[in-house]
A and B are shown apart, each in its own frame.
Chain A
């Protein structure tokens, strides 16, 4: 680290509901330096014209669905915006969707929230998913269509509750999406996040986790496939401020084509009071062609001497010639060998998607990308 490098914990200190508290980014800021601002279509400076994203919820019977106005007091409690676009979205969204699972309720099927973009113009959204203590539920966020969309999604996981979320960014080619997903874990809460980013011109998704009691367990998995010209950015932040909590981050992506660009930032802070923390983060990028670029930046700041485990790994590379040779030497044609190895690269992640239909859909999408 150079002398100019600020501690990680200080980078995330500034939070506010007020847009004006965040200057319009110029691209020189640490948190914006990888993002091509000119392609945000005005989401970052308020210049975007109004558009729409349709929110449709297919809920399990145990889940209460509400559409509420800006003034609902439950909104913005778990998460306070930490950058300009997030604050912008919070300042101007018109309706929020609140999904609640009552204490000890177990959702009998996944609740699917489909967000469909309806073309040009910006839209701002807000979703709150709240699991009361001991509740269990699976949620799917399915992003489709063409949109310029900024939103904040709050996941409040009550004491002993288990929340699993699959967020699929399956946008049309021209979509722009800047999103914050924040999970607040109560005592002994379990949170499983699976992010799949496949479509869109620019997707910048910032999943973050904080803990309000000990014993919380967060597992964040991500899979992305970046094509020519696409910018897909995932910015993880896990803030350990409670003792004996766990976090595990695994993001893997494949890139192919000219100017395919993936950015992965993995920030983990273990604060003084977070003794007994167990954390690991991993990012792997598979560069399938020339002209693709992956930036991968893991950051781990440990402020206590008493951790159970803390580590990170990051690697970006090409398909291993030796893998391909071995398969070809057994008669398997090059294209099939390549597909097998890439499928293998994602296999362990795909197994984590517990919904078979969704797993098949993601696998199908990955296969389709490989056919290009």
Chain B
């Protein structure tokens, strides 16, 4: 691929005592988590526990107000940076509900994004080749490149398109917010393969947010964290996911209220 020459030492995302509010209501109440390149962390938890808030707060969505703590990527506090500067620093958020942007074509968007993240415009032929390879790998029809961004895409198409961006932008740390939600088994497999290709280099870290254990059969996590009421309440290895599969979140929701 085009940037195989890029040598990257390991990266680290450190979330330190993060507090986040939405409209004066505190949602995250002190989150601590470290993700290193080569690691895949799953964050699991019941609906409303604050999992997505964590994802969007790290990315810098204006709706979320950080009231305390730090998010360091290789020592740089992302919270001090604009949304776009965070992405250029190596952070990627795969969104749960990618928004439709009328009149902006997928290819124009992707070229703009790749240009911004790499700091220079990719050579057209190289970009076209990378794009085609990426789309083929995710079983995305070539006609998608000319369509308006996410407009009229099915749920599965939107998620595949998110993973296509992940593979093209090659971030240091990827936060995947319920990328598995709304996918049928075939789409889930295709998307999971994309995530696995991305992490195969060993140079990237993945923070996988999910409600269900299903995706973890395809994307094996190294660590599993249980999220409840705005903080991590339990941590373990892959076996913790199996426990959640069997027992559900009931124990955590009761304990945290």
Contacts and interface: CB of A to CB of B under 8 A. Distances in A.
Interface in B156-185: 165, 169
A331 B104 CA distance: 16
B99 A329 contact: no
B113 A340 contact: no
Contacts of A344: 101-104, 148
Contacts of B47: none
Given A321-B62, A332-B112, A348 B165 contact: no
Interface stretch (B11-19, B87-95, B130-138, B204-212): B87-95
Nearest to A321: B62
Interface in A304-350: 320-323, 325-334, 336-337, 340-341, 343-348
Most chain A CB within a 10 A radius of its CB, from B61, B84, B112: B84
The interface residues of chain A, by DSSP majority, are classed as helix
A332 B113 contact: yes
A330 B117 contact: yes
B154 to A, nearest CB: 18
Contacts, number: 85
A331 B103 contact: no
A328 B103 contact: no
A329 B87 contact: yes
Contacts of B84: 328-334, 337
A344 to B, nearest CB: 3
Contacts of B165: 330
Given A332-B84, A348-B103, A327 B62 contact: no
Interface residues of A, number: 24
A317 to B, nearest CB: 13
Nearest to A323: B101
B117 A341 contact: no
Contacts of A323: 99, 101
Most chain A CB within a 10 A radius of its CB, from B148, B149, B169: B149
B240 interface: no
Nearest 8 A/B pairs, CB to CB: A344-B103, A347-B103, A331-B87, A330-B113, A331-B116, A328-B83, A331-B117, A344-B104
Interface of A: 320-323, 325-334, 336-337, 340-341, 343-348
29 contacts: A321-B62, A323-B101, A325-B99, A326-B149, A327-B104, A328-B83, A328-B84, A329-B84, A329-B92, A330-B112, A331-B88, A331-B169, A332-B84, A332-B112, A332-B113, A332-B116, A333-B84, A333-B116, A334-B84, A337-B84, A340-B101, A340-B109, A341-B103, A341-B104, A344-B101, A344-B103, A347-B102, A347-B103, A347-B104
